[in-house]
């Protein structure tokens, strides 16, 4: 009897599985559960359906190529191979590719990134910068070849020849395109002489336009200190860069029309303003001429003495009459007041009291005598009457 060790048994099973051509490359569909991403970047999860489940692992190099983010409950179809993880003694599915069920990976990646950046406020209208009305310098971040850049240069030059165009050549598709586009945007911002940036490319398939759906480009567009116009593909092509940009153009040609005014329209507008200014100036001159004519024919200029001297004489007479009238009224008012005060003073005067038969008695020192016992018998007193005074000697007191 041949006895195997656990390691031998596990290795034998692993060899059997590895040699099965069906298990070496197969597609499996199911629902993700127990999804975990290790700090190493590797992803571990369980793929299950209503009847069974299988452990699965996807290594970091494969995970980095995913356009969408897997999550628990997501239905997917994966491609990989079956093998045994010897230390754990369990078989598992080693995933090399993964596609979401029902929708394409690109569409899911688009929606996931759009939702993420929208929640961060990257698309808020409050953060959008206005486009300059008359830009002096326009930077175009795009591929130097192709019809798109030629169309933009032609349209801008025709519409507004005063604008200076600066082409920043970048890759617009491929694995390195997002980093290259970001570099171009940052380079223009560091340069600091442009007024606005156009970022985009001509039409193509979803895969060819995918660089403009990357988080790298979206953040570069949103972080730009200069206003950015996104001009990617055709009118029906909508990218993440369109949402992040300050303005979206349906096509590169449309971006060229948006970024500068039409010189013919500006000339027509200036002609309208010039005509309005001419009419306004003519009307103002006409008004001043009428005013001058009225002044020339006014009485003040034709008969200055009558207008100035005679009028002033009459005015002085009026003022004199008013002054005399006011003085008389004031004197009368003061006389009435004086009479009132005199009457009040007269009623309070001691002389009026004396006139009614009363008298005042004063001693030698002139003090008023109010009490008979204040005077000694034989003392001299003075009695003041209404008319005259009496010098008396006190003989007795009562």
pLDDT reported for residue 300: 65
Domain presence at residue 144: yes
Residues 379 and 326 in one domain: no
Provide CB contacts within 8 A for 59, sequence distance 6+.
41, 42, 94
Domain presence at residue 166: yes
Residues 166 and 236 in one domain: yes
Q: What is the mean pLDDT of residues 70-91?
A: 86
Residues 255 and 312 in one domain: no
Residues 20 and 73 in one domain: yes
Q: What is the DSSP string of 146-194?
A: SHHHHHHHHHHHHH-TTSEEEEEE---SSTTHHHHHHHHHHHHHHH---
Range of the domain at 23: 6-102
Is a pLDDT exceeding 60 seen at residue 76? yes
Domain presence at residue 115: no
CATH number at residue 74: 2.40.50.140
Q: What is the mean pLDDT of residues 7-35?
A: 82
Domain presence at residue 285: no
Is a pLDDT exceeding 70 seen at residue 287? yes
Residues 164 and 242 in one domain: yes
Is a pLDDT exceeding 90 seen at residue 200? yes
- Spell out a b/e string for 355-381, using b for 16 or more CB atoms within 10 Å of the CB, else e: eeeeeebeeeeeeebeeeeebeeeeee
How far is the C-alpha of 168 from the C-alpha of 166, rounded, in Å?
A: 7
How far is the C-alpha of 384 from the C-alpha of 145, rounded, in Å?
A: 136
Domain presence at residue 116: no
Q: What is the mean pLDDT of residues 12-29?
A: 81
pLDDT reported for residue 383: 81
Would you place residue 71 in the very low, low, confident or very high pLDDT band (cuts 50, 70, 90)?
confident
Percent of the chain with pLDDT over 90: 43
Residues 133 and 204 in one domain: yes
Domain presence at residue 382: yes
How far is the C-alpha of 200 from the C-alpha of 222, rounded, in Å?
A: 15
Residues 94 and 183 in one domain: no
Residues 154 and 224 in one domain: yes
Query: Lowest-confidence range among 89-103, 228-242, 251-265?
Result: 89-103
Residues 165 and 194 in one domain: yes
Q: What is the DSSP string of 240-270?
A: HHHHHSSEEESSHHHHHHHHS--HHHHHHHH
Structural domain total, the chain? 4
pLDDT reported for residue 242: 95
Would you place residue 378 in the very low, low, confident or very high pLDDT band (cuts 50, 70, 90)?
confident
Give per-residue pLDDT as tens, 114-168. Answer: 999 999 999 999 999 999 999 999 999 999 998 899 999 999 999 999 999 999 9
Domain presence at residue 160: yes
Domain presence at residue 46: yes
pLDDT reported for residue 102: 63
CA distances (Å), origin 86, targets 2, 10, 240: 21, 6, 44
Average pLDDT of the chain, as a whole number: 87
């Amino acid at each position: 009897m041949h006895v195997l060790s656990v390691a031998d048994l596990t290795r034998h099973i692993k060899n059997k599985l590895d040699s099965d051509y069906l298990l070496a490359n197969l597609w499996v569909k199911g629902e993700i559960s127990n999804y975990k991403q290790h700090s190493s970047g590797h992803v571990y999860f369980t793929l299950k359906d209503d009847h069974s489940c299988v452990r699965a692992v996807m290594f970091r190099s494969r995970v980095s190529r995913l356009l969408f983010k897997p999550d628990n409950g997501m239905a997917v179809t994966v491609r990989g191979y079956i093998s045994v993880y010897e230390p754990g003694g369990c078989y598992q599915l080693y995933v090399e590719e993964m596609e979401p069920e029902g929708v394409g990976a690109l569409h899911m990646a688009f929606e996931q990134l759009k939702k993420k950046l929208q929640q961060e406020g990257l698309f808020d209208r409050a953060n959008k910068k206005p486009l300059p009305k008359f830009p002096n310098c326009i930077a175009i971040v795009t591929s130097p070849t192709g019809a798109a850049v030629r169309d933009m240069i032609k349209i801008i030059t025709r519409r507004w020849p005063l604008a200076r165009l600066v082409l920043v050549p970048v890759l617009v598709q491929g694995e390195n395109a997002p980093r290259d586009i970001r570099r171009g945007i940052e380079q223009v911002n560091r340069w600091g002489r442009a007024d606005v940036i156009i970022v985009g490319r001509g039409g193509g398939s979803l895969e060819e336009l995918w660089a403009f759906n990357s988080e790298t480009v979206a953040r570069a567009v949103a972080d730009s200190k200069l206003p950015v116009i996104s001009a990617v593909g055709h009118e029906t092509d909508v990218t993440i860069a369109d949402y992040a940009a300050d303005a979206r153009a349906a096509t590169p040609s449309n971006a060229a029309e948006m970024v500068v005014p039409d010189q013919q329209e500006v000339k027509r507008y200036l002609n309208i303003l010039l005509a309005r200014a001419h009419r306004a100036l003519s009307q103002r001159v006409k008004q001043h001429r009428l005013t001058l004519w009225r002044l020339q024919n006014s009485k003040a200029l034709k008969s200055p003495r009558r207008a100035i001297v005679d009028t002033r004489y009459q005015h002085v007479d009026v003022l004199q009459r008013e002054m005399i009238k006011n003085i008389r009224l004031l004197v009368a008012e003061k006389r009435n007041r004086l009479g009132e005060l005199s009457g009040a003073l007269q009623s309070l005067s001691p002389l009026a009291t004396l006139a009614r038969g009363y008298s005042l008695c004063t001693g030698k020192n002139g003090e008023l005598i109010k009490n008979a016992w204040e005077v000694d018998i034989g003392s001299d007193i003075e009695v003041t009457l209404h008319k005259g005074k009496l010098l008396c000697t006190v003989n007795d007191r009562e």
